[in-house]
């Protein structure tokens, strides 16, 4: 379980990105975080794996105080949490399977990591991860020969190969066309259901959030103004989250 208790985040320039956040997320939930640009969506997501440190309150994952982790303990903790970005973060000039195997590097001895020597078990797990996202046939293709949607699937496979309990996705479909975005969201939903992996994603496409996520968290100016089932989100709630702006105005 992920639990935010009176969490705040203030950056060094004085900007308060999160204010008095109280939130509980159970294992296996699929949660979409929505809100205006600058509302605190990415900050909220990135505090979970300590990419950003909170400045107030407590944040725990499975009862562990995230801010109390240091060194090896923090690295081990982060291994349980996959992270997917809008920009895919692939090494495009190498093969797809090599990109997936990058998730195994922290577990290798230094010499093997340096020369990319992976055991058969890791290679099989990488292929299995690619199969789970439907692009096993692309395993030995260079990543720069794939479409944007296929590259995001490689990023998802790379995350799956580390056997995470939680996947954080920061605007994972923002750069994809509508058809491909739905396909990738479908991958997230299927993985969530079949593998019981907790998924939290920031998304500016409200329609996709409501269609695929089971729960929606709406943030406005660093505060949570809605937290509930996606099926219960009304236009009145969206007006509260987005200050009455249209989706195009909200993301533009």
**pLDDT exceeds cutoff 80 at 107:** no
Residue 89 burial (10 A CB sphere; 0-12, 13-18, 19+): middle
Output the CA–CA distances (angstroms, integers) from residue 165 to 101, 139, 159, in the order listed: 18, 24, 10
With CA atoms as reference, report the closest residue to 171 among 126, 203, 134, 125: 203
Q: Which CATH number fits domain 1-80+167-252: 3.30.70.360, 2.40.50.100, 3.40.50.12160, 3.40.50.300?
A: 3.40.50.300
**pLDDT tens-place string over residues 137-152:** 999 999 999 999 999 9
**pLDDT tens-place string over residues 75-100:** 889 989 999 988 888 888 999 999 99
pLDDT tier, 157 (very low <50, low <70, confident <90, very high otherwise): very high
- Do residues 64 and 73 touch, judged by C-beta distance below 8 A? no
Q: Return the domain boundaries, the chain.
A: 1-80+167-252, 87-163
Tokens standing for residue 42: 């990415």
Q: How many CB atoms lie within 10 A of CB 193?
A: 12
Q: What is the pLDDT of residue 100?
A: 93
105 Cβ contact list (under 8 Å, min separation 6)? 113
**pLDDT tens-place string over residues 28-59:** 999 999 999 999 999 999 999 999 999 999 99
């Amino acid at each position: 379980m992920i639990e935010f208790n009176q969490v705040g985040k203030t950056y060094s320039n004085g900007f308060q990105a999160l204010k008095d956040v109280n939130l509980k997320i159970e294992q296996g939930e699929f949660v979409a975080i929505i809100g205006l640009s600058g509302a605190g969506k990415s900050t909220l997501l990135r505090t979970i794996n300590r990419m950003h440190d909170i400045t107030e309150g407590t944040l725990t994952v499975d009862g562990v105080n995230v801010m109390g982790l240091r060194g090896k303990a923090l690295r081990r903790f982060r291994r349980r949490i996959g992270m997917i970005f809008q920009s895919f973060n692939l090494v495009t000039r190498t093969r797809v399977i090599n990109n997936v195997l990058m998730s195994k590097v922290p577990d290798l001895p230094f010499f093997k990591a340096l020369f990319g020597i992976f055991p058969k078990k890791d290679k099989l797990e990488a292929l299995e991860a690619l199969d789970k996202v439907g692009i096993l046939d692309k395993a030995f293709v260079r990543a720069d020969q794939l479409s944007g949607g296929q590259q995001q699937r490689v990023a998802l496979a790379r995350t799956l190969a580390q056997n995470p309990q939680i996947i954080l996705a920061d605007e994972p479909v923002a750069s994809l066309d509508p058809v491909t975005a739905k396909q990738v969201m479908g991958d997230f939903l299927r993985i969530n259901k079949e593998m019981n992996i907790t998924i939290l994603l920031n998304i500016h496409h409200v329609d996709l959030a409501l269609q695929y996520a089971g729960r929606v968290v709406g943030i406005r100016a660093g505060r949570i103004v809605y937290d509930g089932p996606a099926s219960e989100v009304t236009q009145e709630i969206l007006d509260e989250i987005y200050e009455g702006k249209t989706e195009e105005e909200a993301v533009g």
